[in-house]
Amino acid sequence: MPRSAQTRSASSSTRSAASGRFAVPNFKDSLVFDGVNDIGSSNAVLTMNSRTKLTICSRIQMLSAAGDKVIFEYSENHNNHTAFLVASRSIGDGSLDFTMHNDTFASTYAGCRTPPLTVGTWYSIVWTWDGTLATNEATVFINGVETNVARQLNGNVVLGMEDAIINFGARATVIAPGNFRMKDWTAFSGKVFTQAEINDYSFRNKLPTPGAGESRVAQYLFNEGTGTTVAETGNSALNLTLTGSPAWATNVPTIGRTAIS
């Protein structure tokens, strides 16, 4: 796979006083998905047991505002209908939708949306779902700040234990494809991050240790820099296999302290 040269890297955790921005430590590489043929799929199913709570965190850079971008999709199908879905995608304007449902005909669902993300800027994104069946149950934090422009809630969305493949960069099906760059992705079942934990992830590259009734579903750092495999940090059976031609790059995040407008 091609590896593109980049002039910017974030190999240290130093802070620029002028910009108020932090270079996230231990980041070496990132991966570009074109929204057409570039897909990363786990070699085995992940068990997503939400226990009515869920947190997913990632760092993403939009490379185009227009186009359909499937950031990740975790779904199980029964009788040709999606029976369980946790997904994030961007359609048309660079905003990110976060959606989940556990109903064969998708009549029960929860979700939220970000404002449009600026092309070429890295964002630290944390999606949470607290399962309270209130209008704030699905929430997104951008660079540590809660940033929702639309929430959706319909019915009793109580996710149970499901086993499915995780896909990144799945092929666009709604409109013309768009491309994006991803750095890392981690999912927790049974846990909603506190504000302190969101800040730790966003600005210090630090993740919490799961407590009682909580579990880390999977973590991918996208640090390989070459090849067709992305390692899962704790279980090699869950490694991603890359198909198409995702491009490795040394462009890695520098995360700011303010939310997007």
**Which residues, other chains included, contact 237 with Cβ-Cβ below 8 Å and sequence gap of 6+?**
43, 44
Write down all domains in the chain, each with its CATH number in brackets. Answer: 3-255 (2.60.120.200)
Res. 171 pLDDT band, cuts 50 70 90: low
Res. 5 pLDDT band, cuts 50 70 90: very low
pLDDT in tens, 219-246: 999 989 999 999 999 889 999 999 988 8
Categorise residue 20: left if φ over 0, alpha if ψ from -120 to 50, beta otherwise.
left
Whether the CB-CB separation of 143 and 202 falls below 8 Å is answered with yes
In percent, how much of the chain has pLDDT > 70?
Answer: 69
| pTM, full prediction | 0.81
The two tokens of residue 212 are 């009682």
- Across 86-90, 125-129, 156-160, which has the greatest mean pLDDT? 125-129
Between strands 3-4 and 247-249, the pairing is parallel
Between strands 180-189 and 81-91, the pairing is unpaired
pLDDT in tens, 8-56: 322 233 333 233 344 444 567 899 988 778 889 998 888 776 556 889 9
Res. 173 pLDDT band, cuts 50 70 90: low
The DSSP code for 208 is P
**pLDDT at residue 190 greater than cutoff 80:** yes
Q: How far apart are CA 109 and CA 95, in angstroms?
A: 19
Ramachandran angles phi, psi of 215, nearest 5°:
-155, 150
- Torsion angle defined by CA atoms of residues 33, 229, 187 and 72, in that order, rounded to the nearest 10 degrees: 30
Q: How far apart are CA 58 and CA 117, in angstroms?
A: 14
Which has more pLDDT, 95 or 110?
95
User: Closest by alpha carbon to 77, among 51, 49, 45?
Assistant: 45
- Per-residue pLDDT, 37: 81
Which has more pLDDT, 130 or 61?
61
- Per-residue pLDDT, 142: 93
Q: How far apart are CA 112 and CA 148, in angstroms?
A: 6
What is the residue whose two structure tokens read 């700011």? 256
**Which residues, other chains included, contact 90 with Cβ-Cβ below 8 Å and sequence gap of 6+?**
62, 67, 68, 69, 71, 96, 97, 117, 178, 180
Q: What per-residue string of b and e applies to 145-184 under the rule 16 or more CB within 10 Å gives b?
A: eebbeebebeeebebeebebbbbbbbebeeeebbbbbbbb
The two tokens of residue 172 are 């666009």
